[in-house]
Amino acid sequence: MKQALIAVDIQNDFCPGGSLAVADGDKIIAPANRLIKLFEQKGYPVFFTRDWHPADHSSFNENGGAWPPHCVAGTQGALFHKDLIVPERSFVISKAVEKNSEAYSGFQGTDLSVRLRSLGINDLVVIGLATDYCVKSTVMDAIQEGFAVTVISDAVGAVNVQPDDGEKAMLEMQKAGAKTAASSDFVI
């Protein structure tokens, strides 16, 4: 099995103080960084997805969408959290970059799958924000695409529009075939 780490949308707007904040979203940064360093040391690829919307994106409330404006390309809110380690040789995948394209999944409308396959990757470790939207969609697509997937339970965080959305999302991912692990138990 050849592994890659996928860090989903660890951006300011999904962290406390951001426009679509996940409660305690920044608490995942320490375990995320531990895994990022581990993969980096092993020479295993690390991918960072980011929500990278135009200012008039269709998902924003003012355009009839479900969300407050967030992750507008090039703004502070769209930047990765300042404490997140983004190694020089990692890959950054921008998604939902056009007004009328929504993409919760890092695979949707991107070359993520092609890049992973060209590196011979068949096993993904997934961390990031938000458990109930972009993490879940990314994991579901990954399984659909034939990748083995492990979700790191203490390195993901949920928006929780309903209080148990995060827990439900974890169960859905497990039902679909994802494994879960704690970052402290994770060894490669």
Among 67, 80, 107, 147, binds ligand VGL (CB under 6 A): 67
State the amino acid at position 60 in one-letter form: F
What is residue 64's three-state secondary structure?
Answer: coil
Exposed e or buried b per residue across 31-55, where buried means at least 16 C-beta atoms within 10 angstroms of its C-beta: bbbbbbebbbeeebbbbbbbbbbbe
Looking at 10, 78, 126, 134, which residue binds ligand VGL (CB under 6 A)? 134
C-beta pairs of 162-170 under 8 Å, 24+ apart in sequence? 165/131, 165/132, 166/130, 166/131, 166/132, 168/132, 169/131, 169/132, 169/135, 169/136, 170/131
Q: Decide if 9 is catalytic.
A: yes
Residue choice 13, 26, 51, 154 for contact with Zn ion (CB under 5 A): 51
Q: Which of 51, 110, 151, 155 binds ligand VGL (CB under 6 A)?
A: 51
What character string, x for contact with ligand VGL (CB under 6 A) and - otherwise, covers 8-47? -x----x-----x---------------------------
The residue ranges that bind ligand VGL (CB under 6 A) are 9, 14, 20, 51, 59, 67, 104, 129-130, 133-134
The residue ranges that bind Zn ion (CB under 5 A) are 51
Catalytic machinery residues: 9, 95, 134
